[in-house]
Amino acid sequence: MSKFARKLVTCMGVLGVLVGAGVCFAQEKAAQPETAVAAKPAKVELPAVVADAVKAAFPEMKIGEVRTREIMRGTKVFIVALEKGDLKKEATVTEAGVVMSVSTPIKVAELPKAVADAVAKAAEGAAIAQASKIETLVGRGMAKLEKPRVGFTVVLTKDGKTAQARVSEDGANVRVGEWKEQAPETKKPAEKPATPEAVK
């Protein structure tokens, strides 16, 4: 058998293993009952430096659920839910205790007209289900900005699918994410259509 033939056989063998593994995984997944409930994620404990930073920045707000996420070359951050009565926020904080950004849910009607117009143009026919105001507090190198940079995120729905869009405060920059099938249990009427007329 030639050297080329031996390499070809080896490659085909590896490919067969990968395909076989994929088939096994698919069969195992298909065998699972559709009503299976996903395991509840483990509770995330805030390191003292992060907890202290959050309490200093939001002294009157109560810390709720905490999640973690990796950003920028594996940097770990904590997403901290905060609340005080009806007021709710989410703070993104680094392991070093730097508050990077703050997200505040808002009513769709509270979106600036420039933002609503930009969304309507970028996602024609879609409706806005949720909206949040994002205040970015740091720039490059985690240097604190003199003034927070404001932007908005909106959750869009259209034809049974959903996507998230990020919009700058002036509406000049719009990024619409990937459209995905909407889970049946999350389907609900959107608050407002994504049209300029929806925002006064």
Please give the pLDDT value at position 141: 87
Within the chain, which residues score under 50 in pLDDT?
3-36, 195-200
Q: Which residues contact 69 (CB under 8 A, 6 or more apart)?
A: 76, 77, 79
Please give the pLDDT value at position 68: 95
Please give the pLDDT value at position 42: 78
The residue among 59, 58, 99 whose CA lies nearest residue 78 is 99
Entry pTM: 0.71
